[in-house]
Structure 1
Amino acid sequence: MLKAIVVSYFRSKRNVANVFGISPQAVGQWGDVILEKSALLIEKITNGSLKYNPKLYRKHHTENSQQNNTD
């Protein structure tokens, strides 16, 4: 899930921060793609208005699996 879409949906970083109980500055430090567990939570909170997209996270999981196999 893209941070820009989440911020747009909630209308501000402050509102996103309130949902997670964190500071707006912490939201600002998120990457372009938010954490997978946060995306799943937001999908639930928004009753599916914002959708978790597993394709955004598969590449990361694949890279980690490959790194773990070479260690």
Structure 2
Amino acid sequence: MTKSQAIKHFGSISALAKALNVTYEAVRQWEVVPELRQYQIERITQGTLKASQHDAAA
């Protein structure tokens, strides 16, 4: 998911931050949504937003 998708779903950066129990500034500083936060958002939204799948090859 992108940062803008998450913000759009929650309606604002403030609402997204509150749902994740983090500060507005923490969310604002993301260039991309951190992977663990993506899974947290997926769970909070009951799968409406999906975490991006990355190859774990290495």
TM range (shorter): 0.7 to 0.9
TM-score by length of 1: 0.71
What is the aligned length?
58
1:50 aligns with 2:45: no
Aligned residue identity for 2:43: K
Task: List alignment gaps of at least 5 residues for structure 2.
Answer: none
Matching of residues 1-71 of structure 1 within 5 Å? 1-31=1-31, 33-54=32-53, 57-58=54-55, 65=58
Shift of 1:51: 1.0
Q: Which has the larger radius of gyration?
A: 1
Structure with the bigger RCO (C-alpha within 8 Å, sep 6+) is 2
Instruction: Output the CA distance in 1 between the equivalents of 2:47 and 2:38.
Output: 11
Instruction: Output the CA distance in 2 between the equivalents of 1:25 and 1:53.
Output: 23
Task: List alignment gaps of at least 5 residues for structure 1.
Answer: 66-71
